[in-house]
Amino acid sequence: MSEDTIRFLPYEQAVDIVAAIQEEEDIDNPNRRILTVYNHADRAICWFDYEEIMRDVGVSDKDSASMQTLTEYVLHHIPDWALDE
């Protein structure tokens, strides 16, 4: 396995450490939205590009079913290095 390969936490472990997924403005690029993932200590542990995730998940609305699908996707894609944050 190469060093560039991203390993994801098991879903159950991600559920245990993730307290919130918040849509926010990217402070470095005001025209871009991100999803910041926070742990129970209210620390950001990773982030995702909002538009990219919406496209990957295949949703365009912010209804509750779409947001649940997005949440599940994110929880399955928390990188293992997020434990170090």
Going edge to edge, which strands form the sheet with 44-49?
18-26, 29-39, 44-49
Residue 1: is its pLDDT beyond 60? Answer: no
CA pair distance 50, 63, nearest whole angstrom: 15
Model confidence at 3, pLDDT cuts 50, 70, 90, reads low
Model confidence at 43, pLDDT cuts 50, 70, 90, reads very high
pLDDT in tens, 64-76: 888 899 999 999 9
Q: Where are the domains of the chain?
A: 11-84
Those residues with Cβ within 8 angstroms of residue 25's Cβ, 6 or more apart along the chain or in another chain? 32, 33, 34
Over residues 26-53, mean pLDDT:
94
What's the pTM value of the predicted model, to 2 decimals?
0.88
Q: What is the average pLDDT value for the chain, to the nearest integer? A: 91
Is 35 in contact with 23 (CB distance < 8 Å)? yes
How many Cβ atoms from other residues are within 10 Å of residue 34's Cβ? Answer: 20
pLDDT in tens, 14-38: 999 999 999 999 988 888 999 999 9
Q: 81: which 2 tokens?
A: 């290095």
